[in-house]
Structure 1
Amino acid sequence: MRLKVISLVIGILSGLSACSTTEKATNVTVTEDNQQQRIPDVLNASGLFNKAISKQGIHKIQLLYSAREAAIIEQDWQTLEQACLALESKNSVDHVQNKLYIALARKEMANYTDALSILRTLSEQLKLPEHQGWHQYLMGSIYASQQLPKKALVHYFKASDIAFQNNLTFASLNDETWRALQQLSSYALERFDTGSVVQQGWTKLAKYQQIYLGTGVELHQAMNNWQRRFINHPASYILPKEVTQAVLLSPYETKKLAILLPQSGPSERLGAALKNGFLAASDNWPDSEIFFIDEMQTNIEIEAQLAQNQADFVIGPLLKNNIEKLSDSSTLHVLPTIHLNTKSSQSQKNPNHYYFALNPEHEVEQALVHFLAKKYQKPMLLAPDSNSGKRLVEHFSEQWRLYSEAAPEVGLYTDSKNMAKVIANLLEVENSKQRIKTIESLYRKTDIESETRSRRDIDVIYILGNASETRLLKPYLDVNVSTFAPKIPLYASSRSYSRRIDTTDKSDLEGLYFTEQPWMLPNTTDNRALRNQYMQLWPEQADIEQRLFAMAFDAVALIGEIKQLAKIPGKEFIGLTGQLSIKSDNTIHRRLKWAQYYKQQIRTINLNEQAPLPLFMQSAAAENRILKK
């Protein structure tokens, strides 16, 4: 990305940068009349800076300015920082602009903490519109680098307003504003559709693209209306490129759908559950032909059936090793495909291949975001001492370290027998019991009333066990938390929930929060008719089979939406398995519903999931709050 920078060099130095690039003459040529002629070498940013170090006075300043401007053009951020730091001591330098350049260099080198610190100290010194606009742009770009598009847009819109009012151009601002807008959901866009004319113009354009993407005529009409309303808007440049591409994003035309699932071997039962979901979804595809292929067959057999049936879209395989097995298939490579698992290490990037899995890591991330929104400081994780349990704990811990210096407490249990011991050790209840014994031994003839105390710093507990384990863990937690301490909120993943087990008494889980796909939750109005029909046909199916049914149903429904989901990261599809979106790498991301055990019932609730600030931004935000008081 080449940056067009507004030059703010002032005074007589403003015209000196051009001549400084021809200082060093080293090459000699001979002309026709045998006269020697010296041809100057043009130095790059680093060369100009190195030469400046050996000079003094005005000549040195000339070279530093030239090095600074060349570094921006070359994107040599280290040299830009060095040149700006060398200029810091010069009285004639525009120090605000120079500081903005240092912040730019450090931002581009991912030194976000220092960049943010510089920008914060400059906020009271910004007098010129150019300075104000660049300051807002750089603030927004730092937030955008941390995947915080809503916070980034607050600053991008301010920069865009300044540019529009003062006839300025800030390099890359429009591209980054558009990129951030495309990451927002329709709900978030609605909330941004206010404020200045510039802000409303940006937001409405993003809304129109989401609503009319792939519709052709309707999209053109919406864009024509937008152009008439927002004349000379900075987003106008987007229309020829983005909208033309959007018109071409019509849904896949699927006439013959091939579905790869396990129809033999140990996973045959899972394949049967998927097949039920595919057949149920096919009622919404009356004009399409669906045929099933056993993914356990050889590549040659699978490719032959795809060719014989003239498939134009594929769903599957389910098993990850079969995705890897087919990764080199030339037949499958040219067909749009929704794989029913995560991307394998061997999978080559293919814009028409997508990956849809019931990924537990998405739930862990969703819970973590909520914990941070609630400002919990010290979570405790309880998980089975297994590969999957350790993987989820590690994933949570890695993400948590980005936002908090306090590491979570982790308890891994091997079986039901040592659950109580693991919990007691983590909550330091055994230490309290030992202290009680010591006091009782000193006062043997005195009746002493005592009660164990647990540690006070744990403020939330997250259970990553299955339904049976969760029902054993919660009573242990209830009896080991001190009655003197505030009640610690309990959360769990969808592994803790079972429709079949929950038909009995739920009182042991009172108050527990958990994430779950909408299809599995009782008393939900969405798809109630389909759920009733399902229970009539398969009343005894296990939880995993019910979840796979919903996954298969959603996979078919996604065919008509998936191009648009891949194009706009903020676009969502409401499915049986959750709110589905594609953020990157053609991987479908799920956001589940929150539910709670309440008065022996299960109720769905909305919990705060505001995107958290990375650790390096938190101190800056705290300082800003103090300054405002």
Structure 2
Amino acid sequence: MAYSLQSLVTCLLQHTLLQRLSPSSHRLTRQHTRQAVRHSVPNFGAKYLFVRLLAMAFCMSLLNGCAQTSANRDGAANKSMSPEVERQVTTPTEQTQRNAASWLALAEQQSGTAQVSALLNAAQQLQFDGAWQQAAAVLAQLDRYFPTTQLDQQQSFKRGLLHAAFAVEQKNWQAAQAQLDELAPIYPRVANQTSLSLTYRQLQQVLAVAQEDWPLALQLQLEFIAQEQPLRFDTWTLLTADTVSPSLRSDDLVGTGWLALRRILDDVVSAKLTAAQGLAQWQKNYPEHPATEIAADVLAAPAPVQRVLALLPLTGAFAAQGQAVRDGMVLALAKRPDIDVEFVDTATFDFNALPERLQQTQADTLVGPLLKAHIDKVPMALLPEQVNWVMLNTPNNGLGATHAGATVSYALDSETEIRQAAQLFAQRGYRSVLVLAPNTARGQQLEQVFEQSLMAATDGAGRVFFGRYQDADEMKTAVQDQLAVSASDARIWQIKIAAGKIIVEAEARSRDDIEAIYLVGGIEQTRLLKPFIDVTISPFRQPIPVYANSTSHILRSELSENDLDQVHFSDAPWLLPNHPQSKALQQLLQLRPQWDYDLTRLAAFGHDSIYIALQQYWLDRTPGLRLNGLTGALQIRNGRIQRTLSWARYAGQRVVPLR
């Protein structure tokens, strides 16, 4: 008994129909499928062989994948995406005129280009139906039997799009990006094909969202709005996911209105205008805009901050630090005489009395405490719900248990600087990095933070080498060992011994694969390590750039001659030249001549804590908003202030800011 290819397609059609009518009581067994395969006609010829094998593979995969297909339709494709966009991510595929089985049946009757088109449409329809594994089987057989040379330009592009869509559905962002990169040179030649062009750009946007490339995702959104294309993401979500470039424009009035709303919100946060002024201005310029309700919501003015209770150590071991933070707060409040503040010395304060103290002072905002141990003493559950709280450190137990009001944690921590150093290295293409750190538990902890951050920023392509030291002698050894000079010296010595009386002229060579060096220690370690690095690097190779953290930035009066030359460092922008508030910094240092930059950073920290309290409502609701503070660009993410620092380098005794 022989079965033709048509019988296999009929088998597929019948199974699909029965599955829809009664999936629990009608099943096509693997034995029946094997019998169909075994008794099928063997001599169809080359053009039918592929379709025959495909139909059989499809029929089998349909049997094995029913449960999985159903799970994908229920939303499995959206897991592990950012919460604000998770529900909106769908693979951009179109529905075709026929169902998948109909396209396969048509492919049986076609040959050459027409057959390929039918099979591509079948795979496309399967993806639209959520039958991803079956679509992958079709694509796999297409790849096997139809090389690119046998496809026309549009077919090759469409097949690439379907492969990219499958990679997106599998959350394989790297494979999807590689597929789109491969299609990029062809895209200009098919851009006039509306459906292909749209699908390509939609896939670009899905990838941009998945990889948190918010500028690209927003740019594509504005293009879709201008072209009146379907939108797969919420426009306001994309507008508020990150900062918006001042140069970004839209060719469409609707898109321009969206951008204007976001920029007005930026102006409200930077206190250039009030929320009421911003809303009135936007409504006047964009009446009947789709964002009218959103504008009224996001620009609804919150209750103003009127009374602040600040908890700081003003006596005892940490009095200098607490007083520096207080001075910074006073500097900020000098511009806001409408706000009352009361300072409480946490060195002698009974934290159990804090809820009552808040009630007595009628404070609407709590700032502090500064020390972790004091934060742990705050009776969070008893704090009044209407009080907003800006912690000046991170609780030992994290942010899991806080009071019912708005709460944010703000800290000057070394981990922030190290993570941003790793991100900068990745941006500059440094993949092989040497980290020199004190041989202490804290030093090794910061090493791990750097390594994890670099690996994340380079998609696992980074390599980190560690040199550890306990004193000055070990610093020199660590540098020589990690730059392979010690090994080079040993080889030269062995050659000289082997040469006997023959004079051997040789110079030790440092390794040439290290692209950057990061110093974890403080200023004293940097001052000792930098000369060791300079004399260890071979004179015939380019100098290795050396980076450090903010503790290596000191007052000019404390600098020795060129001892930190060409060291790059991150720091609060207020402490770098040409800052808009440099005059206030100089005035403060004249009032506090005993201060170093460590205490000055704490003053900037206190200043910014007041402005965070004033703008906490907006920052908390809009993750992409940034407050340009003295300590850096500030955002609220997951209840914490994320701080973006500035970079500079020493040029002799001068500090040169970097862009």
TM-score (norm 1): 0.77
Per the alignment, residue 616 of structure 2 pairs with: 562
For the pair shown, the structure with the greater C-alpha radius of gyration is 2
Amino acid at match of 2:630: L
- Does structure 1 residue 116 correspond to structure 2 residue 169? no
2:376 is paired with a residue of what secondary structure? helix
User: Structure 1: 5+ residue runs without aligned partners?
Assistant: 1-14, 27-40, 607-629
- Does structure 1 residue 148 correspond to structure 2 residue 207? no
Per the alignment, residue 129 of structure 1 pairs with: 194
1:421-436 map, 5 Å: 421-436=477-492
Amino acid at match of 2:75: Q
Q: After superposition, give the CA deviation of every residue in 1:300-353 in whole Å (9 maximum; x if it has no partner).
A: 222222222121111011122332332633215541011111354253366611
Name the CA distance, whole Å, in 2 between partners of 1:61 and 1:467: 68
| CA 564–293 in structure 1, closer or farther in 2 if over 3 Å, else same | same
Higher relative contact order (CA closer than 8 Å, sequence separation 6+): 1
Per the alignment, residue 622 of structure 1 pairs with: none
Superposition deviation, residue 458 in structure 1: 0.8
Superposition deviation, residue 132 in structure 1: 2.9
2:614 is paired with a residue of what secondary structure? coil
| CA 54–298 in structure 1, closer or farther in 2 if over 3 Å, else same | farther
Superposition deviation, residue 477 in structure 1: 0.5
Per the alignment, residue 38 of structure 1 pairs with: none
1:359-378 map, 5 Å: 359-378=413-432
Query: Which of residues 572, 597, 601 in structure 2 aligns to 1:517?
Result: 572
Per the alignment, residue 488 of structure 1 pairs with: 544
Per the alignment, residue 309 of structure 2 pairs with: 258
Name the CA distance, whole Å, in 2 between partners of 1:418 and 1:440: 27
Answer yes or no: is the 8 Å Cα contact 1:80–1:102 preserved in 2.
Answer: no
Amino acid at match of 2:74: E
Instruction: Give aligned pairs, total.
Output: 553
Name the CA distance, whole Å, in 1 between partners of 2:29 and 2:584: 70
Amino acid at match of 2:633: Q
- Does structure 1 residue 23 correspond to structure 2 residue 21? yes
Amino acid at match of 1:270: Q
Answer yes or no: is the 8 Å Cα contact 1:153–1:181 preserved in 2.
Answer: yes
| CA 255–157 in structure 1, closer or farther in 2 if over 3 Å, else same | closer
1:496-515 map, 5 Å: 496-499=552-555, 502-515=557-570
- Does structure 1 residue 414 correspond to structure 2 residue 467? no
| CA 576–139 in structure 1, closer or farther in 2 if over 3 Å, else same | same
Name the CA distance, whole Å, in 1 between partners of 2:177 and 2:14: 31
Name the CA distance, whole Å, in 1 between partners of 2:379 and 2:356: 16
Answer yes or no: is the 8 Å Cα contact 1:383–1:412 preserved in 2.
Answer: yes
| CA 17–337 in structure 1, closer or farther in 2 if over 3 Å, else same | farther
- Does structure 1 residue 338 correspond to structure 2 residue 399? no
Answer yes or no: is the 8 Å Cα contact 2:483–2:511 preserved in 1.
Answer: yes
Per the alignment, residue 101 of structure 2 pairs with: none
Name the CA distance, whole Å, in 1 between partners of 2:292 and 2:33: 47
| CA 351–456 in structure 1, closer or farther in 2 if over 3 Å, else same | farther
Superposition deviation, residue 585 in structure 1: 1.0
When the two chains are superposed, the root-mean-square deviation of aligned CA atoms in Å is 4.0
Q: After superposition, give the CA deviation of every residue in 1:376-421 in whole Å (9 maximum; x if it has no partner).
A: 2311111212233222221121121131524111112222221000
1:189-208 map, 5 Å: 190-193=246-249, 200-208=256-264
Answer yes or no: is the 8 Å Cα contact 1:133–1:160 preserved in 2.
Answer: no
Per the alignment, residue 511 of structure 2 pairs with: 455
Answer yes or no: is the 8 Å Cα contact 2:384–2:405 preserved in 1.
Answer: no
Superposition deviation, residue 576 in structure 1: 1.9
Query: Which of residues 351, 359, 364 in structure 2 aligns to 1:299?
Result: 351
Amino acid at match of 1:496: S
Query: Which of residues 204, 208, 216 in structure 2 aligns to 1:139?
Result: 204
Query: Which of residues 200, 213, 224 in structure 1 aligns to 2:283?
Result: 224
Name the CA distance, whole Å, in 2 between partners of 1:373 and 1:49: 55
Question: Which is further off, 386-395 or 523-532?
Answer: 523-532
- Does structure 1 residue 354 correspond to structure 2 residue 408? yes
Amino acid at match of 1:405: A
| CA 169–16 in structure 1, closer or farther in 2 if over 3 Å, else same | farther
Answer yes or no: is the 8 Å Cα contact 1:314–1:336 preserved in 2.
Answer: yes
1:597 is paired with a residue of what secondary structure? strand
Query: Which of residues 313, 329, 332 in structure 2 aligns to 1:278?
Result: 329
Superposition deviation, residue 71 in structure 1: 5.9
1:469-618 map, 5 Å: 469-499=525-555, 502-521=557-576, 523-582=577-636, 584-606=637-659
Amino acid at match of 2:308: L
Q: After superposition, give the CA deviation of every residue in 1:123-157 in whole Å (9 maximum; x if it has no partner).
A: 65867534432331222221222222123334444
Superposition deviation, residue 434 in structure 1: 1.2
- Does structure 1 residue 210 correspond to structure 2 residue 266? yes
Answer yes or no: is the 8 Å Cα contact 1:383–1:463 preserved in 2.
Answer: yes
Superposition deviation, residue 284 in structure 1: 2.2
| CA 21–493 in structure 1, closer or farther in 2 if over 3 Å, else same | same
Superposition deviation, residue 161 in structure 1: 4.7
- Does structure 1 residue 182 correspond to structure 2 residue 240? yes
Q: Equivalent pairs: percent with the same residue?
A: 25
- Does structure 1 residue 74 correspond to structure 2 residue 71? no
| CA 16–139 in structure 1, closer or farther in 2 if over 3 Å, else same | farther
- Does structure 1 residue 268 correspond to structure 2 residue 324? no
Per the alignment, residue 614 of structure 1 pairs with: none
Name the CA distance, whole Å, in 1 between partners of 2:340 and 2:366: 12
Answer yes or no: is the 8 Å Cα contact 1:261–1:318 preserved in 2.
Answer: yes
Answer yes or no: is the 8 Å Cα contact 2:308–2:366 preserved in 1.
Answer: yes
2:411 is paired with a residue of what secondary structure? coil
| CA 388–54 in structure 1, closer or farther in 2 if over 3 Å, else same | farther
Name the CA distance, whole Å, in 2 between partners of 1:318 and 1:348: 18
1:430 is paired with a residue of what secondary structure? helix
Amino acid at match of 2:230: T
- Does structure 1 residue 247 correspond to structure 2 residue 299? yes
Name the CA distance, whole Å, in 2 between partners of 1:346 and 1:451: 56
Answer yes or no: is the 8 Å Cα contact 1:293–1:305 preserved in 2.
Answer: no
